[in-house]
Amino acid sequence: MKFAFPSFSGASAKKAVTSLDQRSKMMAYDQPLVWVVLLLMLFGMVMVYSASISLPDSPKYARYDNAHFLTRQAMFISVSLFAGLLAFRVRIETWQKLAPYLFVATLILLVLVLVPGVGKGVNGARRWLSFKVFNLQPSELMKLFVVLYAADYTVRKQQYMHKLTKGFMPMTLAIGFVGLLLLLEPDLGAFGVIVCIAMGILFLGGINGIWFGGIGATLVGIFSMVIILSPWRRERIFAYLNPWEEENALGKAYQLSHSLIAFGRGELFGVGLGGSVEKLHYLPEAHTDFLLAVIGEELGFVGVLVVVALFYWIIKRAFEIGRQAIAIDLTFAGLTAKGIGIWIGVQAFINMGVNLGLLPTKGLTLPLMSYGGSGVLINCIGLAILLRIDYENRVLMRGGRI
């Protein structure tokens, strides 16, 4: 019995190789992840425009035109995409080498924010460094660089991760110093996100479970004491627990009560894009911290559900990429990917929780969507690093070299 095997020669062979090359190029990076990130940013830009179009009617923004925030957000997104492209070209090995230096440099920036005449204050908080063209928020940088630093620290100290003094304590002191600087700004929300990132990476890196639980309980106690010892934070917590009391609704819970009204008006399918009433100077900071409330009012429960689903997909994909990296012995890359997933997930959860009244009001933006240059820029760089990890995973799994 004879078997005939297909043979390729001349043009047909060349065509087959070309087709294979094209398929390889198409699979060189995670296209769905890129499209989901772009979708969230562009969707966010549309909603920022909708939420801010009426702001020039108020004295505070009287010198701005109606498209001011749309134009700036489009500029932020363009710069961020370019920065993300540059970050994608950097090898993960290089990011690992730079991690400690980037962490220390950002600590210096956090100190400079507190220097009178250097740091810029807005609404009683000193969180920005002014560079004329834009304002840089070092706490946003720290969210990314603490991911890289914690992942690098876990890899370097792997043999000491079950020891308190050599493994856990140095990282705790470093994050404690970051927390002190952030509380002096004050920025409790950013500190909470950074603590979750560091603790999450250490947990994934195999730290002793008993010490992890003990330190976790200690941190909860510290956060509780910070709230108890701070009268205005304590008032905000009590207002959050009962936002509809007249004094709270007109005071500390003013944003929360109007955010809940926005969601209530939106019902299932919303009042229509651009039809929000709460953005007409009722809901403060509608284009930044409370963008989700405008989405809920204009696009309803369905619109909010789409946003939640897209963020869930990004976080799930980040953990899948991290698991793939660890499976091929790229521990730093794997922990970094999961750390980015924790960062995006925790910040999105807190912002959504605040908008929905599940958590006390915090000054945290919705990643990729809310108005702001520093936030979008750092989000794009972080997700570009995630894409780079996935790219290197794919190259190595095909037997190639980075």
d(CA 380, CA 367): 10
Is the pLDDT at 180 greater than 80? The verdict is yes
Range picked from 4-8, 161-165, 213-217, 340-344 for highest mean pLDDT? 340-344
User: Which residue, among 25, 140, 84, 29, has the nearest Cα to 385 in the 3D structure?
Assistant: 84
d(CA 277, CA 263): 11
Q: What's the pTM?
A: 0.89
d(CA 17, CA 25): 12
- Residue pair 298/270 in contact (Cβ under 8 Å)? The answer is yes
Which pLDDT score, from 0 to 100, does residue 123 have?
65
Place of tokens 């994050």: 175
- Residue pair 355/290 in contact (Cβ under 8 Å)? The answer is yes
User: Which residue, among 48, 96, 99, 108, has the nearest Cα to 76 in the 3D structure?
Assistant: 48
d(CA 229, CA 90): 45
- Residue pair 41/376 in contact (Cβ under 8 Å)? The answer is yes
Higher pLDDT, 135 or 182: 182
Helix (H, G, I), strand (E, B) or coil at 121: strand
Mean pLDDT of the chain: 87
Q: Tell me what the mean pLDDT of segment 77-82 comes to.
A: 96
Is residue 130 exposed (0-12), middle (13-18) or buried (19+ Cβ within 10 Å)?
Answer: exposed
Q: Which amino acid would we find at residue 130?
A: S
Range picked from 12-26, 162-176, 208-222 for highest mean pLDDT? 162-176
